Amino acid sequence: MPVEETPVPRNRTNLPVLILGLLTLCASANAQTQAKAIVGYVFPQGAALHAGDMDAAKMTRINYAFANIEKGRLVQGFPSDRANLALLRGLKRDNPNLTILISVGGWLWSTHFSDVALTARSRSVFIQSAMEFLKSNNLDGVDMDWEYPGMPGAGHPFRAEDKQNFTLLLKGLRTALDAESARTHRRLYLTIAAAASEEFLAHTEMGRAQAYLDTINLMAYDYCEPGSDATTGHHAPLFTSPADPRKASADATVQAYEKAGVPASKIVLGVPFYGHVWSSVPDRNHGLYQPGKPASSPDASYREIVATMLGHGYLRYWDSAASAPYLYNAAQRTFVSYEDPESIAAKCNYVKSHELGGVMFWQYGNDPSGQLLAALHKWL
């Protein structure tokens, strides 16, 4: 009997196109996964960095903190900064895709931002100095950490018109960076550190300002602090727990930023490499949402938490509603809110499922063991 031929689909000539399309979709999805930013703040405070201090392969961007402002110009913060920046540039040998940005201001050095942003002339002076600083240090961009427009922050001068002037300052910086990129064919970045509060959104024009920014580093931590809050709580909860009297969380802040007009892809979710510590906390609910006082050392780096608390009388608990860990020492009546690899995994999954731009952390020196960075790298 003759062998029957297998029927050929009429659209068989389109199969290569279909396959190509599927491969393109897969490549696109993979590219989106790989494109998540891992941004680490490095804050040596005058100390010299050394080769081997940092795992460059696990980060996509380093924000070097902080440059200062003097006479309206961006200036280096410490004498060791130039050498430190040179060392960081050297990390590109291990990770050619790594970018190095200078972060300007911060909690204590935001004093002159309102004056810098005030007029076209003052903005021009600052922008020119920023471009000169980038060129002389061969950096990839600027991270503006104004804490905060229209608000005193750590007691800094502020004005109502900071709201509009901040946008104008960012617009001017973007124009200058783009002009330099057109000349050199090298991409330059502009980012900001942004507070996780409705008050910050009310005093800025994030819907307009985001157009000039590559990413917004959302400081989604310090929601609850011993010096400000007489009741314990999570200082970096992913979700809002019904039991939390503050009703605050990273998720709620992300939604507020999106509502304000910021695309999800530009939001980089901040995670803390440190914890907050309360004392005199009664042994109820393992110390969570209980009255307390600031401990003698109210802040603790992840290094300190691992070395002196975990396994040293402190028991770890997990709040599934908030996706956050915490510690309690019943004998010492001490409560600790912090970040750990499990909560980082949850946040990385949130970043991917909500199509955010990536994750930022403050700051590298708080975890020299690299445990938290390894978790970020693994899950992103």
- Cα 60 to Cα 12, 30, 98, 358: the distances in Å are 43, 16, 5, 10
Structural element, H or E, at residue 219? strand 215-219
Taking the C-alpha atoms of residue 115 and residue 169, their distance in angstroms, rounded to an integer, is 11
Taking the C-alpha atoms of residue 57 and residue 186, their distance in angstroms, rounded to an integer, is 21
Q: Where are the alpha helices (DSSP H) in the chain?
A: 15-34, 81-90, 113-116, 120-137, 162-184, 198-202, 206-209, 250-259, 302-308, 341-353, 371-379
Q: Which of 127, 112, 18, 17 is nearest to 71 (CA)?
A: 112
As a dihedral over the C-alpha atoms of residue 286, residue 290, residue 294, residue 296, rounded to 10 degrees, the angle is -30
List Cβ neighbours of 314 (8 Å cut-off, separation of 6 or more).
327, 328, 329, 334, 336
CB 221 within 8 Å of CB 270:
yes
CB 364 within 8 Å of CB 273:
yes
Three-state DSSP at 145 gives strand
| Cis before 166? omega within 30 | no
Told to judge if 147 belongs to the known catalytic residues of this protein, a careful annotator would answer yes
Query: Which amino acid belongs to residue 211?
Result: A
Ordered DSSP codes for 297-316: EEEEEHHHHHHHTBTTTBEE
Taking the C-alpha atoms of residue 243 and residue 115, their distance in angstroms, rounded to an integer, is 42
The residue annotated as part of the active site, out of 4, 132, 147, 304, is 147
Ordered DSSP codes for 67-122: EEEETTEEE-SSTTHHHHHHHHHHGGGT-TT-EEEEEEEESSS-TTHHHHTSSHHH
- Cα 178 to Cα 181, 183, 190, 213, 281: the distances in Å are 5, 9, 10, 11, 53
Active site members: 147
